[in-house]
Structure 1
Amino acid sequence: MELEKHGLHVGSVTHHELSKTLGTWQLWGIAVGLVISGEYFGWSYGWAAAGTLGFFVTSVFIAAMYTTFIFSFTELTTSIPHAGGPFAYARHAFGPFGGYVAGTATLVEFLFAPPAIALAIGAYMNVQFPDLDPKHVAVGAYLVFMTLNIVGVQIAATFELVVTLLAIFELLVFMGVVAPGFSVANLVKGGWAGQDSFSAAAIPGIFAAVPFAIWFFLAIEGVAMAAEEAKDPKRSIPVAYVSGILTLLVLAIGVMFFAGGAGDWTQLSNINDPLPKAMQYIVGENSGWTHMLVWLGMFGLIASFHGIILGYSRQIFALARANYLPHWFAEVHPRFKTPHRAILAGGVVGIAAIYSDQLIQFGGQTLTANIVTMSVFGAIVMYITSMLSLFKLRKSEPGMERPFKAPFYPWFPLFALLGALICLGTMVYYNTAVAGVFFGMLALGYLVFIAVKREREVAPLDEMLESAEELKIERQLAVKAKV
C-alpha cells in the first residue's frame, strides 16, 4: 500500500480512546476554571517587583499577548482536535522533535501549576484553621480531586462548571464588598516599583513581574487537551475559548484594582491569600464577609486545581500513546474511560514538589513563587512552538480544513509569538536559577527521547494523528501525480 511506504501503520491504530461527552458550557467552564485561581493568588507577587502601576503595565501587555494567542491557538485546536493539544500541533508541523519540545513544555506547565494551587488551598484553609499544616491540606486536595477525575470526565467537567460559576460569583462579591472603601490614593501609593512617580528605575520591575502577570491567564489553553472528548469541537471550542478569555480579562482587571485600592497593598504582595487580607482592610478581621470569602474563595482554587489535573493527565496520556513516555501511562480505565494512570503519575510529581522546599526554594523567591515561575516557563515555550506550528501549517498545508481561522492573520499570531519571545527572554534574565532547572529538565528529557527513538518508529500512530498524516501524504502524492 502506498501510504505504508511512508511509514504509516494503517489499520494498526492503538485503541486508547476517550469518550466524547463534553458540551460548549462544560468547555467554557474548563477554560475559565483552569485559570480562575490566578485571580485569587499568585499575581500579587508581581506587585513586589513592579508596584501596582508597574504591574498594571505588565498585565496590559500580557493580556494583549493572551488575547491574540487564544484567537490564533483556536485555529490549531479546531483543525487538530487531539488530546495532546500543542504536542499534536508541533508534531504535525515539525515532526517528532517539535512534538517533544511542545509536549515536554506543556507537561512542565501542567505538572507544576497544581502544586502551587494546592499550596494556596492549604494557605486559605490555614486562615480558618491555624493548626492545619498547609502542606497536608495540599496533599489531601490531590487525593480528592485525582479520584474525582478518575471517576469520569462528564462528572468532572460538570463539577468544574459548577465550582467555576461559584468562583466567579465570589470574585464579584469581593469587588462589591471592598468597593465602598476603594481609594485611588491606596492604589497609586508607591505604585512604580516603590516610587510614587514613574522613572527608568521602574522598568526592570515591570519586566521582572512578567511571570506573575502570566499567572492571571495561565493554562486557558488546556481546553485543547479536552478537545478529543468534546461532542462538537469545531463549533464548541471557539465559543469556549473566546468567551473564556473575555471573562478572565474582566475578572483580572477588577480584582487587581479593587485589591490594590483597599489598603496597604505592600502587605499583600508576597502571600498566597491576598483577597481575604484585602477584604480585612475594609470589614475587619472578624467579619463574616472575610470568612465567607475564604470558604467561597476556595472554589476558585479548586476549579483551577481540578481542571489542571484533567489537563496534565491528557498530556501524559497523549505522550504515552505516541510512545514519547512509557506506553503504560496510555491505558484507559476499563469502566470510567479516563486515563487513570496518567492522573496518578502527575499527582506523584505534584506531591513531591510540595515537599521539595530545599530543592525549589532558591533565588530569593518563596517556594510558591518558584513553582509558579517553573510552570510559566513551560507555558511560554509551548506558546512559542504553537505559534510557529501555526505559521508552518499555513504554509505547508494550505488545504487543511480550518473550521476557525485566526483573525487578522498574520498579525495576531505574530504579536503572540513576539510577545512570548519577549517574555521568555525576560524570564531567563530575571530567573536564571529556575531557567537553569527548566532547560536542564528539557535536556535530560531529550536524552530519553533519543533513547526510545526505535520504539516510536515502530509504534502505530494514534488514530487522530494517523488520519492527519494520511491526508497530508495523499495530497503530496496527488501533487506528484500531476507533475
Structure 2
Amino acid sequence: MKSESKSQHVGKVTHHELKQTLGTWQLWGIAVGLVISGEYFGWSYGWASAGTLGFVITAVFIAAMYTTFIFSFTELTTSIPHAGGPFAYARHAFGPTGGYLAGAATLVEFVFAPPAIALAIGAYLHVQFPGLEPKHAAMGAYLVFMALNIVGVQIAAAFELCVTLLAIFELLVFMGVVSPGFQWSNFTKGGWSGADTFSMGSFHGMFAAIPFAIWFFLAIEGVAMAAEEAKNPKRSIPIAYVAGILTLVVLAIGVMVFAGAAGDWTKLSNINDPLPQAMKFIVGEHSGWMHMLVWLGLFGLVASFHGIILGYSRQIFALARAGYLPEWLSKVHPRFKTPHRAIIAGGVVGIAAIYSDELIQFGGQTLTANIVTMSVFGAIVMYIISMLSLFKLRRSDPNMERPFRAPLFPFFPAFALVAAVICLATMVYFNFLVAIVFAIFLALGYVYFLLTRHQRETAPTDALLEE
C-alpha cells in the first residue's frame, strides 16, 4: 500500500502551501506555550493518588520520557519538516496505513485538548464574573482565537510568544512570593499516597498519577506541525525543542515543589487552581499578589489554548492535503495563507464537545477529565508510532538527510518507546471506558480510510513524502 498515493501524482503541482515566516524564538514560544497551561492546573490531581513524593517519582519518569522523546522526535521533524508532523513520519516509514494511525491519534490529541482548556478558561472567567456561563465563555474563547489564527501565522505566533513570556513570568512570581514560607517538611508530610513511609501501595498511586504528570508536558510535539512555516526548520526547530523541554522541566519542578512546601498540600490536590490556593497560605486571600496571580494566570491557559489551535489546524490541513480527510479542508486562505477551513472544522468539534455533557460524561468522570484523558490517549499512541517510525527509517532509509540526529541512539528513542508503552498500559487499566471510546474512534476512522482510497490517489503531490 505504500505506493498507493504515488501512482497518479506525476506532473501535479500543489496549491496548498503555507507561508514560511516563523523564527527560532517564535517556535520556542509555540513549544512552551502549547504546554504551559499544564503548570497551572491538572497536575495537582496526581498528589491525590500518589502523594507529593510519589508524584515526584512519577513526574521525573514522565519528564525523562518527554526529554528522550523530544531529542528523538527532533530527528524526524528536521528530516521531514511537514505540517502533518507524526502523520508524515509514519507514512514515510510504514506507508498509508501507518500514516493513518499516527494522523488519527495526533488529531484526537490536538482536537480534544483545546475544549478541556477552554472549559478551564470559562470556569476561571465565571469566578471573576459569576453571571457568565462557563460554557458560553469557552465558546467565546474558541471564536476569538480561531479568528486570530486565521488572520495570519506571523501574528498568531507573535501573540503566542508574548502570552508565553507573561505566563512564565507569572510562574516565577508565584515561586518568589511563596518562597518565604517554604518548608520542606510541608512537602514531605504524608508524601507517599498520604502516608509518611513508602509501601507497596505507593506503587499503585504512582501509576495512577501518570496522566497528571503527562499533563505537565502534553502537546510540546505540536511544534512539528509548524515546520512548514519555519524560515529555517533544520536549525530553528532543534533549538526550539531542546530549549522548550528544558524550560518546561525546570518550571514543572519549581511550581510543584514550591506549591507543596507552602502549606498543607492535601488542600491543593483535588482542585483546579492549586497556585492561587498555595499563595493564600503565605499572603492571605486579599493580598494584591493574590489578585495579580488570579488575573495573570489566564495567560497560561490562553497560551496553550491558542497554540494547540495552531497545532490541530495544521494536522487537519496536512491530512486533508494528503487525501486522508476531505480535500476542501486543505484549502489555504487566499490572503492570509492560513488553513482557515481546518481551523474552523477543529473548532466546531471542540465547541460540540464542550456542550456534549451527556455523551462525554461517563465512567464516573467529569466532562473535563474525560476530554483530557481522551487527548492523552491520542498523544501516547502517537509517541509510540513516532518512535517506531524513527527506528524503521534508520533501517529503511539510512541515506535520508538528518540535520539533527537523536543523541545516544538507540537508547534515547528506546527509553521513550518503552516508557510510552508503560503509560498506555496504565491508561487503559485506569481508564478502560475512555480507552474503548478511543478505540472506536480509530476503528471508525479506519473504515473511512479504507473507503476513500481514491482521495489519496488523486491528492496533490507532496514532495516531502515521495521517494
* Residue identity in the other structure for 2:415: F
Gaps of 5+ in 1: 473-483
Q: CA contact under 8 A between 1:8 and 1:460: conserved in structure 2?
A: no
State the 1:353 CA deviation: 1.4
Q: CA contact under 8 A between 1:4 and 1:10: conserved in structure 2?
A: no
State the 1:137 CA deviation: 1.5
1:167-182 counterparts in 2 under 5 A? Answer: 167-182=167-182
Q: CA contact under 8 A between 2:8 and 2:458: conserved in structure 1?
A: no
**Counterpart Cα distance in 2 of 1:456 and 1:6:** 9
Q: CA contact under 8 A between 2:312 and 2:346: conserved in structure 1?
A: yes
**Counterpart Cα distance in 2 of 1:351 and 1:439:** 22
Decide whether aligned partners of structure 1 residues 282 and 92 sit closer, same or farther in structure 2, where only a CA change above 3 A counts: same
Gaps of 5+ in 2: none
**Counterpart Cα distance in 1 of 2:146 and 2:247:** 27
Deviation digits for residues 416-453 of structure 1, max 9, x if unmatched? 00000000001000110111111111011111111112
State the 1:272 CA deviation: 1.9
1:284 aligns with 2:313: no
State the 1:370 CA deviation: 1.6
**Counterpart Cα distance in 2 of 1:5 and 1:145:** 34
Name 1:413's counterpart in structure 2.
Answer: 413
Name 2:314's counterpart in structure 1.
Answer: 314
**Counterpart Cα distance in 1 of 2:6 and 2:220:** 36
Q: Aligned pair count?
A: 465
1:350-361 counterparts in 2 under 5 A? Answer: 350-361=350-361
Q: CA contact under 8 A between 1:187 and 1:261: conserved in structure 2?
A: yes
Q: CA contact under 8 A between 2:4 and 2:456: conserved in structure 1?
A: no
Decide whether aligned partners of structure 1 residues 282 and 4 sit closer, same or farther in structure 2, where only a CA change above 3 A counts: closer
* Residue identity in the other structure for 2:35: V
Name 1:237's counterpart in structure 2.
Answer: 237
Equivalent residue of 1:95, what SS? helix
**Counterpart Cα distance in 1 of 2:196 and 2:356:** 38
Decide whether aligned partners of structure 1 residues 281 and 322 sit closer, same or farther in structure 2, where only a CA change above 3 A counts: same
User: Where in structure 1 do 4 or more consecutive aligned residues deviate above 4 Å?
Assistant: 3-6
RMSD: 1.5
State the 1:6 CA deviation: 6.1
Q: Which moved more, 1:191-200 or 1:53-62?
A: 191-200
**Counterpart Cα distance in 2 of 1:140 and 1:330:** 25
1:119-138 counterparts in 2 under 5 A? Answer: 119-138=119-138
State the 1:5 CA deviation: 12
Q: Which moved more, 1:28-37 or 1:117-126?
A: 117-126
Name 2:440's counterpart in structure 1.
Answer: 440
- TM-score with structure 2 setting the length: 0.97
* Residue identity in the other structure for 1:314: R
Deviation digits for residues 240-281 of structure 1, max 9, x if unmatched? 000000000000000111111222222222222221111112
State the 1:287 CA deviation: 1.4
Q: CA contact under 8 A between 2:316 and 2:329: conserved in structure 1?
A: yes
Name 2:275's counterpart in structure 1.
Answer: 275
Name 2:63's counterpart in structure 1.
Answer: 63
Q: CA contact under 8 A between 1:34 and 1:303: conserved in structure 2?
A: yes
**Counterpart Cα distance in 2 of 1:12 and 1:300:** 43
**Counterpart Cα distance in 2 of 1:5 and 1:294:** 51
Q: CA contact under 8 A between 2:6 and 2:457: conserved in structure 1?
A: no
* Residue identity in the other structure for 1:343: I
Q: Which moved more, 1:353-362 or 1:24-33?
A: 353-362
Q: CA contact under 8 A between 1:42 and 1:369: conserved in structure 2?
A: no
**Counterpart Cα distance in 2 of 1:183 and 1:5:** 61
**Counterpart Cα distance in 2 of 1:356 and 1:265:** 33
1:33-112 counterparts in 2 under 5 A? Answer: 33-112=33-112
1:116 aligns with 2:113: no
Decide whether aligned partners of structure 1 residues 360 and 5 sit closer, same or farther in structure 2, where only a CA change above 3 A counts: closer
**Counterpart Cα distance in 2 of 1:309 and 1:99:** 21
Deviation digits for residues 79-105 of structure 1, max 9, x if unmatched? 000000000000000000000000000
* Residue identity in the other structure for 1:25: W
**Counterpart Cα distance in 1 of 2:241 and 2:391:** 20
Equivalent residue of 2:236, what SS? helix
**Counterpart Cα distance in 2 of 1:5 and 1:460:** 9
Name 1:378's counterpart in structure 2.
Answer: 378
**Counterpart Cα distance in 2 of 1:60 and 1:287:** 33
**Counterpart Cα distance in 1 of 2:176 and 2:201:** 35
**Counterpart Cα distance in 2 of 1:210 and 1:352:** 28
State the 1:459 CA deviation: 2.7
Decide whether aligned partners of structure 1 residues 178 and 325 sit closer, same or farther in structure 2, where only a CA change above 3 A counts: same
**Counterpart Cα distance in 2 of 1:5 and 1:49:** 48
**Counterpart Cα distance in 2 of 1:459 and 1:17:** 14
Name 1:154's counterpart in structure 2.
Answer: 154
1:251 aligns with 2:262: no
1:456-475 counterparts in 2 under 5 A? Answer: 456-465=456-465, 469=466, 472=467
* Residue identity in the other structure for 1:396: S
1:203 aligns with 2:208: no
Q: CA contact under 8 A between 1:128 and 1:291: conserved in structure 2?
A: no
**Counterpart Cα distance in 2 of 1:253 and 1:110:** 25
Name 2:300's counterpart in structure 1.
Answer: 300
**Counterpart Cα distance in 1 of 2:299 and 2:253:** 19
* Residue identity in the other structure for 2:387: M
* Residue identity in the other structure for 1:150: I
